Chain A
Amino acid sequence: MMELFGIALTTLALFVSFGFMVGVLFGFFGMGGSFLVTPALLVMGYPARVAVGSGMAFVFGTAVIATLKHHDLGQVDYKLGGLMIVGTTAGIEVGSILVYRLEELGLASGVIGVTYVGLLGVIGLFVTRNALKSDGDSSGGGHHDAADGEIDPDDIPDIAKKIQSHRVPPMMTIAGGIQVSLWMILGVAFATGLLSGFLGVGGGFIRMPAMFYLIGVPVPVAVGTDLFEIVFSGGFGSFTYGLNGGVDLSIVAPLLAGSALGARIGSASTNIVDEGDIKVYFGLMLLGGSIAVAFQQAGDYLAIEAFNTVGFALILLSAFMVSGAVIYSTITTMRAQARTATPSAD
């Protein structure tokens, strides 16, 4: 079999294609790396240490690329990102202590699995329901070209308005001209860090909706800022796993080559595709993930290997369908824009 850099060409092609798909999702949603790559590497027979470490290094590289792209689009709030890093780091520490305690009691696997399924399911349902509701009563969408401008009060969810109404000083101004209490930002960051430390995941799927719904950050800025934060957490995680030989560059490099292109397309799409569509895709992917993890948990509990395979196939299928939908939406929106463009447009 032909080889390049010690890997079979078919495996190389598989890694590049898989990286592309993950890159689209990562650039578009600011999440989806670790919960797709690590299980895939485990199924391919890599040891857990290498699967997690290489997955982490891949997430780090993809986050760097996607953050640079979002930076170019003016969709990263560095002040908010810096504060979120502080709160999240503290939360992750407390979350991991909780896991060690549960491990001592022999309850860690079950509790974490059930929390994962419940959380993904609840957030997925909430996001999908909200997106479908706002899709019905909105007057036509609106793209994300005003990330730094004042956002329409109608775009701020009621829950965020209620939270923002508690003005505990010091107050600070974030993207979109929104005034939020510093304690609120640190509180949200701590809570999301706690969950990501507890669940052992990057946490983008928790942080991104939390920034939007609880703080009121516009979706593209929430995605960009979340990615900025993942650069730091992913870099630190890669270093930690690298210390124990858990990062395999022959896995990371081809995955990254594919994801770099995908992340560019995904990040650029957030500026083209309707915001309501973004939320529907996000919600559906979380729901797919929730069902998949439920299958894997049931497979572990009942010792049925087929359930694990079904779970993994579901994750791949939902990721494939959602990344395909993102690209399809982007192309159809661009074509519609081209059709409606006046001859005087440049």
Chain B
Amino acid sequence: MIDFAGSSPAVQAGALVGAVLLEAIVLYVGYGALERVAMPVIEKVKHA
């Protein structure tokens, strides 16, 4: 784990924004993969 505690406030704030950005991208990709798996199942149920 990278330790930002001793860094300047600007670096800490930048790291926070970076962390939120990274979480957002991971969530987007993760939920996207989930959607690709789930959609065919939903379509199947819808047309059953």
Binding site for B on A (CB under 8 A): 57, 60-62, 64-65, 68-69, 235, 238-244, 247, 249, 252-253, 256-257, 260-261, 264, 334-335, 338
Contact = CB atoms under 8 A, between A and B. Distances in A.
Given A264-B35, A338-B46, A338-B47, A238 B17 contact: yes
B13 A61 contact: no
**Chain A at the B interface: SS class:** helix
Given A243-B9, A243-B10, A334-B46, A61 B20 contact: yes
Interface string B13-48: 110110111011101101110010000000000110
B16 A249 contact: yes
Contact of B20 (A57, A69, A243, A244): A57
A57 B16 contact: yes
Q: Which of B9, B17, B35 has the most CB of A within 10 A?
A: B17
A240 B21 CA distance: 15
A57 B17 contact: yes
27 contacts: A57-B16, A57-B20, A60-B20, A60-B21, A61-B24, A62-B24, A65-B24, A65-B27, A69-B28, A235-B21, A238-B17, A239-B17, A241-B13, A242-B14, A242-B17, A249-B20, A253-B23, A257-B27, A260-B27, A260-B28, A260-B30, A260-B31, A261-B31, A264-B35, A335-B46, A338-B46, A338-B47
B20 A256 contact: yes
A247 B14 CA distance: 11
Given A64-B25, A69-B28, A334-B46, 8 more contacts: A57-B17, A240-B13, A242-B13, A247-B13, A249-B16, A249-B19, A253-B23, A264-B28
A98 B9 CA distance: 29
Contacts of B27: 65, 256-257, 260
- Cβ-closest 10 pairs across A and B: A242-B13, A260-B27, A64-B24, A61-B24, A242-B16, A61-B20, A243-B13, A243-B9, A65-B28, A338-B46
A197 to B, nearest CB: 21
Contacts of A244: 9
Contacts of A61: 20-21, 23-24
B16 to A, nearest CB: 4
B28 A239 contact: no
A238 B20 contact: yes
A60 B47 contact: no
